[in-house]
Structure 1
């Protein structure tokens, strides 16, 4: 699935009430985000500007998580710091696919279906847990 196809799948979450997932882990992490929320959230329609992701939202994630956003895939493997093989709590950056997986997972939560908001977490551990859940959902739709 290309990034553009993934954008389309995420945009469908706005209008589709049938995307709610009964994933207990997802609901637990979203509840944790709600409890620690500093009210930094956004509506899904503000994520995309003519099928291009809103850079302000990327920067909010970067600031809240204290992680660097990598907009390009690095070539070669000079350092393992940002490798997918590194445990999430040691990663120092995130990529677009990670952000989209987080949003895709959050979009399947009961909180999202009630509020239509995606909350930006400031806990990297929770961010990476949702990324993993979103990645699983994404791989199921291929």
Structure 2
């Protein structure tokens, strides 16, 4: 799936009035509640995450991505990076050992959060604030949930 298609899919969640088809994920709801209870909360919006290019394409805003990566002490890696990256993108690497994040990780985080029942009303707001969890383990759990949701919708 292209980045533009995924962003469109995320934005379309705002337009769905009755999200009945979306199943409630107890782990997702628990993680969202944990984020809501954190004292200092950082966030980003989809509008700030992406920049339009001259040819009507979309690219990630490097400042926003760097902000998200810095929250966890991670390095942002483009999926196209080649060379000696060892297990950087391995599914077998446990979250606490990951040292980098990718575009799809940030989109999966957004997708998971927007699927939370706690955001149903917020989806109608033009500038939806997507929280950045303080705990890197919560970040990776939400990324995994977003990936699973994305995979289920392909079926």
TM range (shorter): 0.7 to 0.9
Q: Which residue of 1 aligns with 2:105?
A: 98
Q: Which residue of 1 aligns with 2:62?
A: 55
Superposed displacement of residue 77, structure 1:
5.7
In the alignment, the residues of structure 1 paired with residue 85 and residue 99 of structure 2 have an alpha-carbon distance, to the nearest angstrom, of 15
Q: Give aligned pairs, total.
A: 142
Distance 1:35 1:90, change over 3 A: same
Superposed displacement of residue 7, structure 1:
1.4
Task: Determine if contact 1:37/1:119 at 8 Å carries over to the other structure.
Answer: no
User: Could you state the TM-score of these two structures normalised by the residue count of structure 1?
Assistant: 0.85
User: Could you state the TM-score of these two structures normalised by the residue count of structure 2?
Assistant: 0.79
Q: For residue 90 of structure 2, give the secondary structure of its aligned residue in structure 1.
A: coil
Aligned residue runs from structure 1 range 77-96, under 5 A: 79-96=86-103
Q: For residue 71 of structure 1, give the secondary structure of its aligned residue in structure 2.
A: coil
Structure 2 unaligned residues grouped into runs of 5+: 53-57, 123-127
Q: Does 1:16 align with 2:16?
A: yes
In the alignment, the residues of structure 2 paired with residue 140 and residue 81 of structure 1 have an alpha-carbon distance, to the nearest angstrom, of 25
Deviation per residue, 1:42-73 (Å, 9 max, x gap): 33333332232232321221111111110243
Distance 1:81 1:55, change over 3 A: closer
In the alignment, the residues of structure 2 paired with residue 117 and residue 111 of structure 1 have an alpha-carbon distance, to the nearest angstrom, of 13
Computing the radius of gyration over CA atoms, which structure comes out larger, 1 or 2? Answer: 2
Shift >6 Å, 4+ stretches? none
Task: Determine if contact 1:64/1:122 at 8 Å carries over to the other structure.
Answer: yes
RMSD (CA atoms): 2.1
Q: Which residue of 1 aligns with 2:138?
A: 126
Task: Determine if contact 2:109/2:142 at 8 Å carries over to the other structure.
Answer: yes
Task: Determine if contact 2:51/2:60 at 8 Å carries over to the other structure.
Answer: yes
